[in-house]
Amino acid sequence: MKPRIVILISGRGSNMAALLAASLPLEIAAVISNRPGAAGLALATAQGIAAEVVDHQAHATRETFDQALAEAIDRHQPQLVVLAGFMRILTPAFIRHYQGRLLNIHPSLLPAFPGLHTHRQALQAGVRIHGCTVHFVTEQLDHGPIVAQAAVPVLPDDTEETLAARVLESEHRIYPEALRWWAEGRLTLRDDGRVGVQGAAFPQGALRVPGAAA
């Protein structure tokens, strides 16, 4: 039996679409959005996947929203909850409920640039390399054990929009890869807070941007 996941979205669901296109060895039990108008809901429905809304605006507090969201998720009995552009800060109780079963992708090379406007932060900091991170969610915002990262160069004429587009391409590559590792039972949350990936080949040496002769 394939492992089951539930995907949480807030908007167009481009990372969700990348997961769908990857033909992963898992079952997507449902897609849930906190926004009724999220374009990704229509995409899920077109793929025959249950699409639901738990509207955060219908709840007076984060706690009551997260409780309703957890109830909606748990009806599908997933082994993993996947955040794919889900733009809500989750409460500690919700995170503890899914401890070790809550995966996120963030548009920066964590722990650099947590929070919002990561591409603006990268440009203002003058970094030469930016990227994205797949990680397990913990109570500390945009931290937690790292599963995978991808780096992209920051070009001299980059804007927030051009840099975001380059990072998004990498997100669409590494998120399906990380989910495949999980579905194949190759991820291990170690006691030291790091993630082990069984059988994964990692490149040797360092990515250097801008490139220069040794």
The residues assigned a catalytic role are 106
Q: Tell me the longest C-alpha to C-alpha distance in the chain.
A: 59
3-state class (DSSP) for residue 27: strand
Contact predicate 104/139, CB 8 Å: no
Q: Phi and psi dihedrals of 77, rounded to 5?
A: 50, 55
Strand 80-83 with 102-106, pairing: parallel
Cα torsion for 176, 8, 184, 136, to the nearest 10°? 90
Show Cβ contacts of residue 7 under 8 Å, excluding neighbours closer than 6 positions: 13, 16, 19, 28, 30, 31, 32, 44, 82, 84
User: Residue type for 75, please?
Assistant: R
